[in-house]
Amino acid sequence: MKNYNRPLRWKARLSTSCKSTLSRLAHFCLLLAISAGLLSSCASRYFSPLPAPAETLNIKNLGDLPHNELWQGFVFNGEKVGFAHLKIVPMPELNQYQILSEAYLRIRFMGMDKHISMKSDDKVRPDLTMVSFHYEQKMDEKPFTLHGATTDNTLTIRQKSGDAEKSAEIPLTGPLYPTSGINLYPVLKGMKVGSRYRYLVYDPQTQSMAEVNQSVIAFEESKKLSLEPAFKIETHMHGHSTSSWITMRGETIFELAMGGVVITYREDEKSAKRFLAEASMNKKDLIFDFGLVKTATPITCPRKATFLEVSAEGLSGELPPLQGPNQEVSETIINGTPVTTFRLRGAMPPEKDAGEEPLTMGDHQRYLAATYHIESEHPEIKKTAHEVVRGALTSSEKVTRLVNWISSEITHEAVDSFSAVEVLHTREGECQAHAMLYAAMARAAGIPTKLVGGLMYMEGMGFLYHSWAESYSGRWIAVDPTFKQVGVDATHIKLIEGHDWTSLLPIAKVVGKVKITTIHYSCGQ
């Protein structure tokens, strides 16, 4: 009899033909490196369809589950990078359940060892609806905590990161569920092929409400992977999709996420914890290498580039082409392959405000509004912004002052940042930290500003995923606070934009897929 419950030994089996990466890194510059892979295209070779069970699952609440604990491993490019553990504990005195989940990740990024731990303690009712949650995350010992509770159709949240604290209240119009219960929800609903579900969760990693859409699309097995018959569930959230295989016992045994790059698999506790001892042996810069887009023709003057024309594969159908400012985009088919051509011009700083592009009232309000991560109404943000722009006569002059201040005051460090206020306090962060703080201060100064995500060329390496901003002063002008640019150089390829950093998350769908050919570039003085 085949033993379906043994841990999956699959580094030797799959690493030569399929790639994977870790999931659930919380913030943009790390998230940029997590996407698009190969297993999604070869999954059909490993899974075979089976007739769907005639009976539906008879698991109506968490107390009916035949198991209460699950260990899983993460693998990226043939290397194990972490593990996760979930445990369900009954609380009979309250008629509730405690879902305890934890994940540990260790990976080299930009030449540095990144240690990431995430823990959540979710209190739920037997039907999985949320009562409260407590979430903790550490990246290289930098703590971030989030606590929330539902009362009277309101979710109350308290957040702390470093010495920055804030709270918020979110009105609820229906049931709310924890992200730890996403793979449990279809189990409690009967998990019948053809069923569809839609519900809301609060995602502590993005500090936002998110709609989850799930479909039970097949009943399959994989003899090659020693996986027992299971339902295949497609889950869509934050613009990304996940494929999960869940058994008749309600146990998740295999999972592909973010375009097939993320692979999680069931294993035992001993194998999971062995990773902690072995991780120090992993010296590959996996995420950095995966996100880097190399070109055959190097660009020798990236920060002074005044014109760039490139063709790119891997974007069509994933992200809509964005025009301007100083960016022209066209799409065509070459030998059956969709190709996107970008023509970019480096922008000069505006000498004065222009009135060439009227801004709609909706965009004016949207790009001035405070968000959970871009707290333009916070007293410290407003005070600092007003001090920096004091005496400036035009929006263009304000933009220049803000970019110069952030470039000189915020140190570029590979540390996680959760909000503009936190960056203002710590005075350090990656590209998204510079962009978030700039957007908050610009909005506080009355300048409509959006966040931008895309690719930027780094000399000697290639194109890297990067975040910058655009501000409106009669027309949209691209600015890069990380590199002190008001009017960015021509190697900034815009792929996505939005009012908050969560709007940029869909860019992860193309990381690892993009190929770029340099057609022509010009250098300025």
Q: Where are the domains of the chain?
A: 11-290, 292-523
- The average pLDDT across 458-482 equals 92
Q: Classify strands 411-412 and 428-429 as parallel, antiparallel or unpaired.
A: parallel
Give the number of residues written for the chain: 525
Dihedrals φ, ψ of 288, to 5°?
-60, -45
Q: Which residue did the predictor score with more confidence, 412 or 308?
A: 308
pLDDT of 37: 32
pLDDT of 501: 84
Mean pLDDT score of the chain: 84
- For the record, the structure tokens of 482 come out as 């990380």
What dihedral do alpha carbons 430, 481, 305, 300 form, nearest 10°? -30
* pLDDT beyond 50 at 94: yes
Distance of CA 360 to the CA centre of its chain: 29
CATH T-level topology, domain 292-523: C8orf32 fold (3.10.620)
pLDDT of 354: 60
- For the record, the structure tokens of 475 come out as 């027309």
Q: Which residue has the tokens 């033993």?
A: 3
pLDDT of 77: 59
- The average pLDDT across 231-257 equals 90
Q: What confidence tier does 277 reach under pLDDT thresholds 50, 70, 90?
A: low
pLDDT of 24: 34
Cα gap 107→40, rounded to integer Å: 23
- The average pLDDT across 420-436 equals 91
As a whole number of angstroms, the longest Cα–Cα distance in the chain is: 80
pLDDT of 415: 72
Q: Which residue has the tokens 């769908």?
A: 509
Which secondary-structure segment (H or E) carries 366?
Answer: helix 361-366
Half-sphere exposure (Cβ direction) of 173: Cα atoms closer than 13 Å: 4
* pLDDT beyond 80 at 281: no
How confident is the model over 189-238, as pLDDT tens digits?
989 999 999 999 999 988 899 999 999 999 999 988 889 999 999 999 88
C-beta of residue 345 within 8 angstroms of C-beta of residue 473: no
How confident is the model over 443-468, as pLDDT tens digits?
999 999 999 999 999 998 899 989 99
The helix/strand/coil state of 72 is strand
Q: What confidence tier does 275 reach under pLDDT thresholds 50, 70, 90?
A: low
3-class SS string, 82-103? EEEEEEEEEECCCCEEEEEEEE
Strand partners, 276: none
C-beta of residue 178 within 8 angstroms of C-beta of residue 201: yes
* pLDDT beyond 50 at 7: no
- For the record, the structure tokens of 243 come out as 């494929």
Report percent pLDDT > 90 for the chain. Answer: 57
* pLDDT beyond 90 at 128: yes
* pLDDT beyond 50 at 495: yes
Cα gap 145→161, rounded to integer Å: 6
Its pTM surpasses 0.75: no
Cα gap 226→117, rounded to integer Å: 29
Dihedrals φ, ψ of 142, to 5°?
-85, 115
